[in-house]
């Protein structure tokens, strides 16, 4: 059995707000194996982005990690210096955000920005870095890469810019790529092209990828394993196939019935009534109980623990524990 490239263990994150402390993440645990695509799924506000940002120590100032640890290639990321963290960011782990305009600086050309990152992390000469950037741009299927290299971000379409972002994120021989809703801002037809491209490049380069999305349909096609988060907690985790064939948590079921049909945007989860609680830390019992169609008296009083159905599939639901298939 190989060691995981990333191990997140019992991670707790709090936000200090004017209305008090919000317990945004409560005991999230998962491993990512080298070379795999690992999905992080859940509705808006359930903690997907802050989980990704915590790996790079890029959480907003109002956030605090109060418990847990994050190990990357055996190194405890929460204990290393800022300087060591900087060399891991970009060099070993990179991130693609939902909105490329937050990652590309509008004042500099695509080529300038790629060149700088590649020189910094791979210690390449300016000329060699340019070659590398052009190769990576071409690998994403962009035409006329010399022109794109000299373009400013606003001169590219959304889809072209997202391809350039992927080229940038993959140009430094990383071992882990975190992609946070990498295609949500794009047209549906372009979305599937970009996802396919990411998968192809990911396999070719052998990089591990965390794919963050609210769309379980995306995960079904892409991921080897996945975790379903609800209100800052893991509700189901395991091999994608096992979860899709035999979901063990009512929330996962709800997400599955909300998978948009091809061609629709389908961002609303109409299949699950109610909303994610604002401060899940304040709830007693199972965090999903207030919205659960299968709620039992016990669910309002006790917090379910992780129940393992098999080596590769676990869920935090009393029904899964009882072996009841609902």
Ligand X SMILES: Nc1ncnc2c1ncn2[C@@H]1O[C@H](COP(=O)(O)OP(=O)(O)OP(=O)(O)O)[C@@H](O)[C@H]1O
Residues forming the site for Mg ion (CB under 5 A): 48-49
Work out how close the CB of 195 gets to ligand X at its nearest, in angstroms, rounded to a whole number. 17
Work out how close the CB of 307 gets to Mg ion at its nearest, in angstroms, rounded to a whole number. 28
Instruction: Specify whether the CB–CB gap between 10 and 27 falls below 8 A.
Output: yes
Instruction: Specify whether the CB–CB gap between 118 and 149 falls below 8 A.
Output: no
Cβ burial, residue 204 (10 Å; 0-12/13-18/19+):
exposed
Q: Which one of Mg ion, ligand X, none is in contact with 172 (Cβ closer than 5 to 8 A by kind)?
A: none
Cβ-based nearer residue to ligand X, 97 or 307: 97
Q: Which one of Mg ion, ligand X, none is in contact with 217 (Cβ closer than 5 to 8 A by kind)?
A: none
Q: Which one of ligand X, Mg ion, none is in contact with 44 (Cβ closer than 5 to 8 A by kind)?
A: ligand X
- Classified as helix, coil or strand, 200 is helix
Under the criterion CB under 6 A, does residue 275 sit at the interface with ligand X? no
Instruction: Specify whether the CB–CB gap between 41 and 211 falls below 8 A.
Output: no
The runs of H, that is alpha helices, within the chain are 48-55, 82-88, 110-122, 126-139, 145-149, 158-170, 188-205, 216-222, 240-245, 250-257, 318-322
Cβ-based nearer residue to ligand X, 60 or 297: 60
Instruction: Specify whether the CB–CB gap between 198 and 167 falls below 8 A.
Output: no
Task: Report residue 210 CA to chain centroid gap.
Answer: 5
Q: Which of 60, 263, 297, 323 binds ligand X (CB under 6 A)?
A: 60
Under the criterion CB under 6 A, does residue 183 sit at the interface with ligand X? no
Cβ-based nearer residue to ligand X, 18 or 264: 18
The stretch among 46-54, 243-251, 259-267, 292-300 that binds ligand X (CB under 6 A) is 46-54
Q: Which residues are near ligand X by CB under 6 A?
A: 15, 17, 22, 24, 42, 44-50, 60, 62, 214
């Amino acid at each position: 059995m190989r060691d995981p490239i990333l191990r997140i263990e019992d991670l707790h994150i709090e936000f200090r707000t004017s209305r008090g402390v919000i317990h945004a993440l409560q005991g999230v645990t998962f491993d990512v194996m080298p070379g795999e695509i690992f999905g992080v799924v859940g509705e808006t506000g359930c903690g997907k982005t802050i989980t990704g940002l915590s790996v790079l120590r890029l959480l907003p100032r109002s956030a605090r990690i109060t418990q847990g640890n994050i190990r990357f290639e055996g190194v405890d990321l929460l204990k290393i210096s800022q300087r060591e963290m900087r060399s891991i960011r970009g060099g070993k782990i990179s991130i693609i955000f939902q909105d490329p305009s937050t990652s590309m600086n509008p004042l500099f050309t695509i080529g300038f920005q790629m060149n700088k990152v590649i020189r910094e992390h791979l210690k390449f000469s300016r000329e060699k870095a340019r070659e590398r950037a052009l190769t990576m741009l071409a690998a994403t299927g962009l035409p006329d890469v010399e022109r794109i290299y000299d373009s400013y971000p606003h001169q590219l379409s959304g889809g072209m810019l997202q391809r350039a972002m992927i080229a940038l994120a993959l140009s430094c021989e990383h071992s882990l790529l975190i992609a946070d809703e990498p295609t949500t801002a794009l047209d549906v037809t372009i979305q599937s092209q970009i996802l396919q491209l990411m998968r192809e490049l990911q396999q070719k380069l052998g990089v591990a990828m965390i794919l963050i999305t609210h769309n379980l349909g995306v995960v079904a096609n892409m991921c080897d394993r996945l975790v379903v988060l609800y209100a800052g907690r893991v509700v189901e985790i395991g091999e994608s196939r096992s979860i899709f064939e035999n979901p063990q948590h009512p929330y996962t079921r709800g997400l599955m019935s909300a998978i948009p049909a091809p061609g629709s945007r389908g961002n609303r989860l109409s299949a699950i009534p109610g909303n994610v609680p604002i401060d899940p830390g304040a709830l007693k019992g199972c965090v999903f109980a207030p919205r659960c169609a299968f709620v039992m008296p016990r669910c309002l009083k006790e917090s379910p623990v992780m129940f393992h159905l098999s080596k590769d599939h676990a869920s935090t639901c009393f029904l899964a524990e009882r072996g009841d298939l609902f």
